[in-house]
């Protein structure tokens, strides 16, 4: 329904703002991001698809450009993150518009933006790394920064493929960073994908423990 798709970004902005006002936030291992920023190095945020909603709260106003699919739902998501946190989007994926996406991401990096990618999106399998993010890190010459979050109050959409999580107000939240992962020109992308999954799984367990 076109009207609903038009309305969702505005409603999401109001809801995201309310969550920001009513939720306490703790940052863990933030030194990993600070270290990259201190040397003015761009990077790729990598986070599970199910956890992306809270980043419209925790990273509002961040200089970031998200890779979003060219689907109809992707258009709605792109407008939502633009309104919620001022994040720009590059449209494309490993199967649709891949070359345009790479050019767009290179332009974003050169313009001073970091990149945000859900390595298991947009359709899964849940919490499994697709090699596209490794290829991009290798191609663009930038590190991957694993990141996750968890909330004490949240709604889990069990009917979605990834059990998408919607943060709810009046709770505790945590954002946890992993160590940056470099992908060199001769690195095995399968091994690097396994390294990224290990990191994301570990920091997600850490985040869950902190809000339990």
Distance CA 160, CA 197 (A): 21
Q: Is the pLDDT of residue 8 over 90?
A: no
CB atoms within 10 A of CB 184: 10
Give bridge partners of residue 154 from the DSSP assignment.
167
| Single pTM value for the model | 0.90
> What are the domain boundaries of the chain?
2-211
Q: Is the pLDDT of residue 97 over 80?
A: no
Q: 2-211 maps to which CATH number?
A: 3.40.1130
pLDDT tens figures, 22-79: 999 999 999 999 999 999 999 999 999 999 999 989 998 888 888 776 665 666 676 7
Q: Which of 115, 122, 138 is nearest to 191 (CA)?
A: 138
The string of DSSP codes covering 10-26 is: HHHHHHHHHHHHH-EEE
DSSP, collapsed to helix, strand or coil, labels residue 95 as coil
Segment 72-87 shows an average pLDDT of: 65
The one-character DSSP state at 158 is T
Contact 81, 52 (CB under 8 A): no
Contact 197, 127 (CB under 8 A): yes
């Amino acid at each position: 329904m076109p009207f609903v798709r038009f309305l969702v970004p505005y409603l999401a902005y109001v809801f995201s703002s309310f969550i920001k006002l009513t939720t306490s936030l703790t940052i863990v291992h933030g030194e990993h991001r600070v270290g990259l920023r201190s040397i003015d190095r761009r990077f790729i945020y990598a986070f599970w698809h199910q956890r992306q909603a809270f980043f419209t709260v925790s990273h509002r106003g961040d200089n970031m450009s998200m890779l979003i699919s060219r689907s109809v739902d992707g258009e709605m998501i792109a407008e939502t993150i633009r309104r919620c946190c001022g994040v720009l989007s590059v449209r494309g994926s490993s199967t649709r518009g891949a070359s345009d996406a790479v050019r767009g991401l290179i332009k974003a990096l050169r313009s001073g933006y970091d990149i945000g990618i859900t390595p298991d999106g947009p359709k899964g399998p849940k919490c499994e790394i697709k090699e596209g993010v490794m290829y991009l890190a290798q191609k663009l010459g930038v590190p991957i920064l694993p990141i996750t979050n968890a909330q004490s109050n949240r709604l889990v959409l069990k009917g979605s493929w990834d059990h998408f999580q919607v943060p709810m107000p009046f709770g505790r939240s945590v954002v946890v960073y992993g160590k940056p992962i470099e992908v060199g020109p001769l690195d095995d992308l399968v091994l690097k994908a396994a390294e990224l999954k290990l990191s994301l799984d570990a920091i997600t367990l850490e985040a869950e423990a902190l809000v339990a």
